[in-house]
Each structure stands twice: as structure tokens, then as C-alpha cells.
Amino acid sequence: MSTTPDLTVRIGAVVLKNPVIAASGTFGFGREMADVFDLSQLGGICSKGVTPEPRVGNPPPRVAETASGMLNSVGLQNPGLERFVSEELPFMKSLGTVVIANIAGNTVEDYQAMCRRLDATDVDAIELNLSCPNVKEGCMAFGSTPTGVAGLVRAVRPMTRKPLWVKLTPNTGDIRETSIAAEASGADAVSLVNTLLGMAIDIRTRRPVLRNNTGGLSGPAIKPVALRMVHEAYQAVGIPIVGMGGILTGEDAIEFLLAGATAVQVGTANLVNPLACQDIMDAMFRYAKEIGLERIADLTGALRIW
């Protein structure tokens, strides 16, 4: 008997029609991609990182190609919270898929104020960016230690009834500890991993390629590290995990589910192939159908360790 696989997954109170989410920072607010394919097919879209006030970001050059990946130091360029709420969020909600607002701040009070404001909107979930390596303060300063993660999540949890996802950095001692801290403080899910801190050097000028000197490494180069961290977090927490880091194909995405992720975010792949998310969704469906899998959710944590 043939099986039509159910691709639906649940991250706490948030139900996704499939496990593929467009990651923050590589999809903008969906406007450009809406002309490329039907975005209602996506499991969700995670907004560009939004800050309380508009940011122009870091000076160029702020993107550099590396072996099997790329470095970026964009620096959270965005229109600010109020323009996001008034202009971008209505557009994103019109796309027919789950909308996650990724937010970043310099202080605990920034995060609190943004969560209070977003609580009054129809955004489906809030992703706390505690892991951007390309700004001088905030973000990774909170996310690099369990104490920092716990303190911030605990402070913002009373500010909103929206599901809170906490985006964690790989630039830390033990991803299990920061994941546990997020869960214990009220997070509904953890997203991991964000970019690894890296550098590229121009041997002719003897300067870093990026004007910010360092940047976040993403793409296939970080996938083995990301898979290991997702699996470690899965063994340590009971809340859902949204996995990311070097996902280019449906096979990559399935590996993340097996390691323990409930859903995945696709980032750098979108810059190489605008149809990456669609291709990954299609490949996951074909895989599930080929093996006779009834529910894609059954793959989460199904890794068989030696």
C-alpha cells in the first residue's frame, strides 16, 4: 500500500506544514523570494534580524567566500522594529505560512520592549537572537554562557505569550549547557547553530577581507559541527530543536532530523540557489515516500548510535 507522507511537524504550539523554514538573514522578509516560488509551501519564514531602532549594519566589504562556505559581517542591517511591524510583518503574514520574528538587542531591556511590542501582533513566534557574532555588544554576549542565556530568557518570558525560540551560538563551551539554560528559563524551543566566528585574509593587502575583521562562517563547512551540537542538545533537553548549519539538500535536512531536530532552517543555500527551500522540501517528501514513512516527525531523534 502506498503512503502519502505527512510532513507536518509541531514546535510547541506552532504547527508547521513541513519542517523547512527559511532562516533569518538570508531571505530578507520574503519580498524578493515571493517572485521566485510560492512561499506558502514553506513550513515558515524567519525574519531578518530586527532591532529596536534601524541599523545600517557594518561597513563593506561584509561578505566573503571561503572554502565550502561564506563569511558575513552584515551587522544586523534592518529597518527597525516599528517599520517591521507596520510594513514587513503584514506582508509576511499574507504569504500563507508561519512567521517567526528574529529579534536582537544590546540590553535586556531592548529584548523586553521588543517582546512586549510583538506580543500585540499576529507574529506566530519570536526567535531571540543570542548568537550574532557580528555586532559589538548584545546578542552573543548574552548567548555565550548559560548564565547569560538564562538571565535574558527569564527576563523576557513574562513579556509575551508568544512562543519563544532561543537561537544559540556554537561559539561557546558546551551547547548542552546553554540549551538546558534556555529550557529551564522558559524557552519553547532552541534554534542551533548560528554561524561560527571566522576570518579570511587577503595576502596582498595583508588585511582581513572583511572590514569588520571577523565574521560568521556558514554553509557546508559547518554542517558536521552543527549536526554534533544538535545531537548533543537533543540528548540534554526536552523542548524541540530547530536545526541549521550547512543545509543544502534534502539529505542534509534529514540528517538534522535524525540527529534530533524537529525542523530545520535553510540559510546560505538560498544565496546559491533561490529554489533551495523548495528543492529540499521536495526531496524530503520523496525520501519519506520511498521508505514508506507515514510521518516525517518520526525521523526526529531516530539516529542509531554505534
Q: What is the CATH number of the domain that holds 224?
A: 3.20.20.70
* Domain carrying residue 137: 9-58+75-197+218-299
Instruction: Specify the pLDDT at position 143.
Output: 84
- Predicted local distance difference test score (pLDDT) of residue 1: 42
Question: Residue 173: inside a domain, yes or no?
Answer: yes
* Residues sharing a CB contact under 8 Å with residue 39, sequence separation 6 or more, in sequence order: 22, 30, 33, 45, 95, 96, 97
Low-confidence ranges of the chain (pLDDT < 70): 1-2, 132-141
Q: What is the pLDDT of residue 137?
A: 53
**Is residue 70 domain-resident?**
no
**pLDDT at residue 136, as a whole number:** 53
pLDDT digits (tens, 9 = 90+) for 83-110: 999 999 999 999 999 999 999 999 999 9
Q: What is the pLDDT of residue 46?
A: 98
| pLDDT given for residue 142 in this prediction | 80
Instruction: Give the rounded distance of the alpha carbon of 5 from its chain centre.
Output: 25
Question: How many domains in the chain?
Answer: 1
**pTM listed for this prediction:** 0.96
> What single-letter amino acid sits at 298?
D
For the chain, helix, strand, coil in percent to 5 are 35, 20, 45
Provide the annotated active-site residues: 132
| pLDDT in the model for residue 134 | 56
Residue 80 falls within a domain, yes or no?
A: yes
Query: If we measure between CA atoms, which residue out of 78, 56, 74 comes closest to residue 64?
Result: 74
**Which residues have CB under 8 Å from 66's CB, separation 6+?**
198, 200, 217, 219, 221
